[in-house]
């Protein structure tokens, strides 16, 4: 049993050393990691900056989308529940939506042109 474990460990170590030795990149390869632009050196960075404003709008959309999804079955529940309970629940969800919208508007998160 000890022989099998030591043989497996030695084989793994040999393969790791062999892999790290074969996978070394040449420092002379300047063209391979650079982006290809019709054979010319690129004029600007190939990476575009990520818009944090777009991400914030997407998260706000998801939050409001979940709230709308919770409100949509309200007419179906209307026949099986008490009217006061349904009105209270609907008002609660709509107030959460309105408060969230007011807060985002007040913080300036909905102004896209900045």
Place 8 in a pLDDT band, splitting at 50, 70 and 90: very high
What are the tens digits of pLDDT across the range 60-72? 888 888 878 877 8
Residue ranges covered by each domain of the chain:
52-107
Instruction: Give residue 28's region: left, alpha or beta (phi > 0; psi -120 to 50).
Output: alpha
Cα–Cα distance, 24 to 99 (Å, whole number)? 57
Cα–Cα distance, 90 to 75 (Å, whole number)? 10
Cα–Cα distance, 81 to 104 (Å, whole number)? 33
What are the tens digits of pLDDT across the range 26-41? 555 666 666 665 666 5
What are the tens digits of pLDDT across the range 69-99? 877 888 787 778 788 888 888 888 888 888 8
H-only helix segments in the chain: 2-22, 52-71, 74-77, 83-107
């Amino acid at each position: 049993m000890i022989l099998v474990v030591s043989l497996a460990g030695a084989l793994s170590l040999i393969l790791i050393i062999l892999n790290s030795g074969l996978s070394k990149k040449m420092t002379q390869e300047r063209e391979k990691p650079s982006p290809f632009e019709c054979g010319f050196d690129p004029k600007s960075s190939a990476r575009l900056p990520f818009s944090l404003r777009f991400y914030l709008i997407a998260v706000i959309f998801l939050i409001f989308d979940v709230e709308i999804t919770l409100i949509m079955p309200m007419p179906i529940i209307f026949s099986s529940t008490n009217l006061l309970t349904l009105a209270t629940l609907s008002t609660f969800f709509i107030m959460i939506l309105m408060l969230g919208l007011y807060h985002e508007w007040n913080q300036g998160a909905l102004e896209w042109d900045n």
